[in-house]
Amino acid sequence: MDPGDDWLVESLRLYQDFYAFDLSGATRVLEWIDDKGVFVAGYESLKKNEILHLKLPLRLSVKENKGLFPERDFKVRHGGFSDRSIFDLKHVPHTRLLVTSGLPGCYLQVWQVAEDSDVIKAASTIAVHEKEESLWPRVAVFSTMAPGVLHGARLRSLQVVDLESRKTTYTSDVSDSEELSSLQVLDADTFAFCCASGRLGLVDTRQKWAPLENRSPGPGSGGERWCAEVGSWGQGPGPSIASLGSDGRLCLLDPRDLCHPVSSVQCPVSVPSPDPELLRVTWAPGLKSCLAISGFDGTVQVYDATSWDGTRSQVEPLFTHRGHIFLDGNGMDPAPLVTTHTWHPCRPRTLLSATNDASLHVWDWVDLRAPH
Amino acid sequence: MCGAGFGHFEWLAGGGAGQDVGRSCILVSIAGKNVMLDCGMHMGFNDDRRFPDFSYITQNGRLTDFLDCVIISHFHLDHCGALPYFSEMVGYDGPIYMTHPTQAICPILLEDYRKIAVDKKGEANFFTSQMIKDCMKKVVAVHLHQTVQVDDELEIKAYYAGHVLGAAMFQIKVGSESVVYTGDYNMTPDRHLGAAWIDKCRPNLLITESTYATTIRDSKRCRERDFLKKVHETVERGGKVLIPVFALGRAQELCILLETFWERMNLKVPIYFSTGLTEKANHYYKLFIPWTNQKIRKTFVQRNMFEFKHIKAFDRAFADNPGPMVVFATPGMLHAGQSLQIFRKWAGNEKNMVIMPGYCVQGTVGHKILSGQRKLEMEGRQVLEVKMQVEYMSFSAHADAKGIMQLVGQAEPESVLLVHGEAKKMEFLKQKIEQELRVSCYMPANGETVTLPTSPSIPVGISLGLLKREMAQGLLPDAKKPRLLHGTLIMKDSNFRLVSSEQALKELGLAEHQLRFTCRVHLHDTRKEQETALRVYSHLKSILKDHCVQHLPDGSVTVESILIQAAAPSEDPGTKVLLVSWTYQDEELGSFLTSLLKKGLPQAPS
């Protein structure tokens, strides 16, 4: 009996639901459009890449009488072609527009998702302040009445561009050349940034550049690379910012005091990460204090940070998704590496994860601590 | 479709109303031959809309004359369900081709379906049992990779399609033009069937279903997992699982799956299948063992198909046994027989589960419960309350977007035609196919006609002597500047040869005749004819720089092989007559010279 079959039997106990797909090309993006569809996009440098709008299998989307819906397949609802590799994709809420970023990093591409056909067409471009050859600008979208695109590869090149008028409505206006690793819009006037060094900041766009930040040389400063995500913003006290380093360290911070992490733990992962740019940490939208991390190997790990305080240093994941290792490789190829993951907006324990060998999994894990 | 201006491709009223419900029936015209591909029933309709509209085919209704043959790809009703109607009620007497397993299994399904329609739903205007039998008498069964001559010009060949037992893809060939029709196929092997395969046959056109072309399929492993999980959870809580199956469909696949996992998980819960199922299935699988995959063939040699360690023959008494169990029973749509009996016993307990593995025809209990009905009216106005869990699982093996690309990559057609697409345009898919595979892609709507121009090539052998002669004339042939070659085309026994005229005459035993034209051009010239000739020579020499112009000792002028002689008619000394003479081959130059000379000669300097 092959190990794939073995793992499948194990999986009966570990997952409520489990789907595995083979995309035509690996993706580093998983961007939701409502709760029924995601965008994926290729990142190859030598050939044309596809951007796909995938509708989730019906069986995942229906709430009642699930048993009567046999469909377990993704439907390609829209598709488009890109000559550039795509490392980031954001959907502009309430529109049919997408913004993507890739290499070379001299401009952002705006796409139009057609209404009467299944085509995603390149619509226009947004020039970036600094022409970087090897860095690609991070992108986030202000979904206000007049949507604005926040982008930048470095702190000094951060700006917000009004999507319609193409006027720059905000710039960081600093000379700091630190490289950015993530950008996140928090509300109509606030965004968060995380630099590759671990430096974090919260910026109010109504003021001149004066972010709340952790000026200390970062939680590590041994040459690690960091990324971060802000969880439920404005929903009460407590650590809502998670920062993940390529050495496996995970820090939780309270936005009121970025200089002193609430907790700092070591995750049991194989270090160093083979590609620190792929590191990703996310907060579960439907579970209190739950986080997921990926980018170290072919697994996604879920943690419950409820009882983490300054005392804990070693932690164990609540759940580890190993499906990509067992189902996808055939033992001959190098082990897969998870490129990205995301939580389902409505189903509390459902995640999507993708790897560099073009697989895409949708999995609903079982919390083994819960009473049966 | 097909070039030389004749033939066209027509897409007959096919296309489903969404989901897997649809009907296949395609008419292809290729080099003057007309072939019908599949003859399916639309399962979603109850009236005449379920049959294709055959009046599309030919106005005067003489189908047997018009159609050269009908080909059926596999036994699913949406591909063969309208066949008896077509042959016995509409009136087609020509040959019907299908593979051996399809021929064996089709009549069973057709009869089952007929029973449901007529006996259960009391429909009129439906084909009878006798019609099914008469229809099957017109069937010519074919083997895989066997070239079958339908007539002296049309030939067909079947390829393995996976999907279900006996399913085939067909290549239809007339001369150098061919079409491949895939029917339904699967590019990944499963536990009892292999994957579809075709060679690099490079057809002009590949016709394939596009129902799943825009899907990305969940892996087989995950589907199996879903099935196992449902079964396992039910038996763990003490419930019973009923799986209504068709003997030759997915039953085999699911049995192998359960057996494998019962062994692995060391489960003791009994699994049964009804004996009717084993006998029939065994009989057919024995007959058609080459159609299953490698693994099955190996094990079959050792034991019979249904000799499992954990799966035993069912006895109707077992249905009343307490405790958990799993039962595979026929028929597949819960419309009669053992599966319905068991269903009635188990329906009232919410711990139990029924797993429907496929589409159910309207009117059956299967269809009703899949539509969400929980109170069923049985015979004698008895109402059955369905409390057991109902699960609909799709085990059908279809190629998705990736699979279609794979098959197109194998066959290397010039063009691809996708049928059964949804109403909204599939522009992205079309672009993808055209870009990645470098083929043209067509997506006709119902009733639409697609015409594909092709350039058939006719090979002609050129004789060595002729080639040598041409080469000897000097310049080598240039791809950009075609050279005119004179020869004689001999067509004999579908063979084309180009030879020199002399050789042709010799071969055919004909005498050679020379054809020469002579034209008289009158010129006003008072001088002697010798001088006129000289003037002609000078004039032509100065104009025709590219040609060989000579003045011969006897006074005549030659331009290449054209002869010009000047003569003086006795009546009028002021007029000279030029006799321009040329052979048939020099017609062009001869005419040119004649018009030139008619314009007159330039004034000679005195």
- Model confidence band, residue B475 (pLDDT cutoffs 50, 70, 90): low
**Is the link from the previous residue into B331 a cis peptide, with omega within 30 of 0?**
yes
In 3-state terms, what secondary structure has residue B309?
coil
Structure tokens at B206: 């590949």
Would you call A20 and B217 a contact, using CB atoms and an 8 Å cutoff? no
Kindly list the strands in the beta sheet with B240-244, ordered across the sheet, starting from the edge strand earlier in the chain: B311-313, B271-273, B325-329, B240-244, B353-356, B389-392
Residue B163 has pLDDT above 80, yes or no: yes
How far apart CA B210 and CA A157 sit, in angstroms, is 47
Give me the CATH code for the B220-392 domain, please.
3.40.50.10890
Facing B221 at nearest CB: one of A24, A120, A327:
A327
pLDDT in tens, B422-446: 645 688 988 999 998 899 998 877 6
Could you give phi then psi for residue B344, rounded to 5 degrees?
A: -65, -35
Residue A117 lies in a domain: yes
Residue A214 has pLDDT above 60, yes or no: yes
- Model confidence band, residue B278 (pLDDT cutoffs 50, 70, 90): low
Q: In this prediction, what percent of chain B has a pLDDT beyond 90?
A: 36
Lowest mean pLDDT of A66-70, B155-159, B383-387, name the range: A66-70
- Residues A119-131 have a mean pLDDT of 89
Residue A59 has pLDDT above 60, yes or no: yes
**Is the link from the previous residue into A104 a cis peptide, with omega within 30 of 0?**
yes
Q: How many domains does chain A have?
A: 1
Would you call A67 and B390 a contact, using CB atoms and an 8 Å cutoff? yes
pLDDT at B120: 67
A152 forms beta bridges with A138
How far apart CA B152 and CA B126 sit, in angstroms, is 36
Q: Give the E-state strand segments of B154-310 in sequence order.
A: 154-160, 168-174, 177-181, 205-209, 215-216, 240-244, 271-273
Mutate to test the interface with A, among B428, B432, B436 (most CBs of A within 10 A): B428
Q: Please report, for residues B38, B162, B191, B305, the alpha-carbon distance to residue B195 in angstroms, rounded to integers and kept in the order given.
A: 21, 5, 11, 20
Residue B157 has pLDDT above 60, yes or no: yes
pLDDT at A101: 95
How far apart CA B531 and CA B527 sit, in angstroms, is 6
Q: Was domain B8-216+397-451 assigned CATH 3.30.1330.40?
A: no
Q: In this prediction, what percent of chain B has a pLDDT beyond 70?
A: 88
Residue among A49, A28, A190, A229 at smallest CA distance from A122: A49
Residue B138 has pLDDT above 70, yes or no: yes
How far apart CA B165 and CA B284 sit, in angstroms, is 9
Would you call A54 and B390 a contact, using CB atoms and an 8 Å cutoff? no
Residue B305 has pLDDT above 60, yes or no: no
pLDDT in tens, B502-525: 888 888 888 888 888 899 988 888
Would you call B214 and A75 a contact, using CB atoms and an 8 Å cutoff? yes
Residue B13 has pLDDT above 60, yes or no: no
Chain A positions contacting chain B at CB under 8 Å are 1, 4-6, 8-9, 11-12, 17-24, 48, 50, 54, 57, 65, 67-81, 116-120, 327
Q: Are B66 and B26 in contact (CB under 8 A)?
A: no
- Model confidence band, residue B16 (pLDDT cutoffs 50, 70, 90): very low
Domain residue ranges in chain B: 8-216+397-451, 220-392, 458-470+488-512, 516-599
Active-site residue, B560 included = no
For chain B, report the end-to-end CA distance as a whole number of angstroms: 71
Residue A332 lies in a domain: yes
The whole-angstrom distance between residue A261's C-alpha and the CA centroid of its chain comes to 22
Q: At what angle do helices B275-287 and B251-265 cross, to 10 degrees?
A: 110
pLDDT at B59: 64
pLDDT at B14: 31
pLDDT in tens, B327-362: 999 888 888 888 999 999 999 999 999 999 887 877
pLDDT at A225: 92
Q: At what angle do helices B100-114 and B129-137 cross, to 10 degrees?
A: 160
Residue among A11, A5, A18, A16 at smallest CA distance from A372: A16
How far apart CA A372 and CA B233 sit, in angstroms, is 13
What does DSSP say about strands B69-71 and B96-99: parallel, antiparallel, or unpaired?
A: parallel
Residue A220 has pLDDT above 80, yes or no: no
Residue among B448, B437, B422 at smallest CA distance from B213: B422
Average pLDDT, chain A: 89
Per-residue b or e along B256-287, where b marks 16 or more CB atoms closer than 10 Å to that residue's CB: bbbbbbbeeeebebbbbbbeebbebbbebbee
Residue B544 has pLDDT above 80, yes or no: yes
Residue A371 lies in a domain: no
pLDDT in tens, A27-38: 999 999 988 999
pLDDT in tens, A149-168: 999 999 999 999 999 999 99
Residue B124 has pLDDT above 80, yes or no: no
- Model confidence band, residue B483 (pLDDT cutoffs 50, 70, 90): confident
Residue among B606, B603, B601, B605 at smallest CA distance from B533: B601
Can you list the alpha helix ranges (DSSP code H) found in chain A? Answer: 3-14, 58-61, 323
pLDDT at A67: 84
How far apart CA B232 and CA B107 sit, in angstroms, is 36
Would you call B215 and A74 a contact, using CB atoms and an 8 Å cutoff? yes
Structure tokens at A66: 């699930």
CATH code for position A251: 2.130.10.10
Residue B176 has pLDDT above 60, yes or no: yes
Residue B2 has pLDDT above 50, yes or no: no
pLDDT at A328: 67
Residue A370 lies in a domain: no
Facing A70 at nearest CB: one of B261, B392, B431:
B392
Residue A334 lies in a domain: yes
Q: What angle do CA B64, B70, B74 make, to 5 degrees?
A: 155
Nearest CA in chain A to B374: A65
Facing A9 at nearest CB: one of B219, B264, B371:
B264
Q: What residues contact residue B519 under an 8 Å CB cut-off, 6+ apart?
A: B579, B580, B581, B590, B594
Nearest CA in chain B to A21: B218
pLDDT at B6: 22
pLDDT at B35: 95
How far apart CA B583 and CA B393 sit, in angstroms, is 82
**From the candidates B10, B177, B209, B253, which is the catalytic residue?**
B209
- Residues A317-342 have a mean pLDDT of 85
pLDDT at B298: 63
pLDDT at B88: 92
Residue A102 lies in a domain: yes
- Model confidence band, residue A249 (pLDDT cutoffs 50, 70, 90): very high
pLDDT at B453: 78
* Best-predicted range by mean pLDDT (B57-61, B423-427, B498-502): B498-502
pLDDT at B8: 29
Residue A228 lies in a domain: yes
Would you call A68 and B222 a contact, using CB atoms and an 8 Å cutoff? no
Q: Are A118 and A77 in contact (CB under 8 A)?
A: yes
Chain B positions contacting chain A at CB under 8 Å are 212, 214-219, 221-226, 228-229, 232, 260-261, 264-265, 370-372, 389-394, 400-402, 405, 424-429, 431-432, 435
Q: Are B9 and B417 in contact (CB under 8 A)?
A: yes
Structure tokens at B440: 């043209």
- Residues A275-297 have a mean pLDDT of 95
Which chain A residues are within 8 Å of B214, Cβ to Cβ?
Answer: 75-77, 118
Q: In this prediction, what percent of chain A has a pLDDT beyond 70?
A: 94
Sign of CA dihedral B463, B465, B468, B472: negative
How far apart CA B479 and CA A308 sit, in angstroms, is 79
pLDDT at A62: 82
Can you list the alpha helix ranges (DSSP code H) found in B305-445? Answer: 337-346, 365-370, 401-411, 427-437
How far apart CA B174 and CA B151 sit, in angstroms, is 10
pLDDT at B299: 60
* A-B C-beta contacts closer than 8 Å: 111
Q: What residues contact residue A32 under an 8 Å CB cut-off, 6+ apart?
A: A38, A91, A342, A345
- Residues A171-176 have a mean pLDDT of 89
pLDDT at B60: 64
Lowest mean pLDDT of A142-146, A351-355, B367-371, name the range: A142-146
- Residues A234-263 have a mean pLDDT of 87
pLDDT at B95: 95
pLDDT at B572: 81
**Is the link from the previous residue into A272 a cis peptide, with omega within 30 of 0?**
yes
- Model confidence band, residue B306 (pLDDT cutoffs 50, 70, 90): low
| Radius of gyration (C-alpha) of chain B in whole angstroms | 37
Kindly list the strands in the beta sheet with A168-171, ordered across the sheet, starting from the edge strand earlier in the chain: A138-142, A148-152, A159-162, A168-171
Looking at chain B, how many residues does it have?
A: 606
Facing B216 at nearest CB: one of A70, A74, A78:
A74
How far apart CA B167 and CA B148 sit, in angstroms, is 17
Residue B398 has pLDDT above 50, yes or no: yes
How far apart CA B38 and CA B51 sit, in angstroms, is 12
Residue A30 lies in a domain: yes
- Residues B566-581 have a mean pLDDT of 85
Task: Kindly report the nearest CA distance between residue A328 and chain B, in angstroms.
Answer: 10
- Model confidence band, residue B571 (pLDDT cutoffs 50, 70, 90): confident
How far apart CA B601 and CA B90 sit, in angstroms, is 79
Token pair 């201006």 is found at: B5
Facing A8 at nearest CB: one of B221, B371, B425:
B221
How far apart CA A362 and CA A108 sit, in angstroms, is 29
Q: What would be the CATH architecture of the domain defined by B516-599?
A: 2-Layer Sandwich (3.30)
- Model confidence band, residue B136 (pLDDT cutoffs 50, 70, 90): very high
Would you call B393 and A74 a contact, using CB atoms and an 8 Å cutoff? no
- Model confidence band, residue A1 (pLDDT cutoffs 50, 70, 90): low
ipTM of the complex: 0.90
Residue A147 has pLDDT above 70, yes or no: yes
Lowest mean pLDDT of B7-11, B130-134, B141-145, B575-579, name the range: B7-11
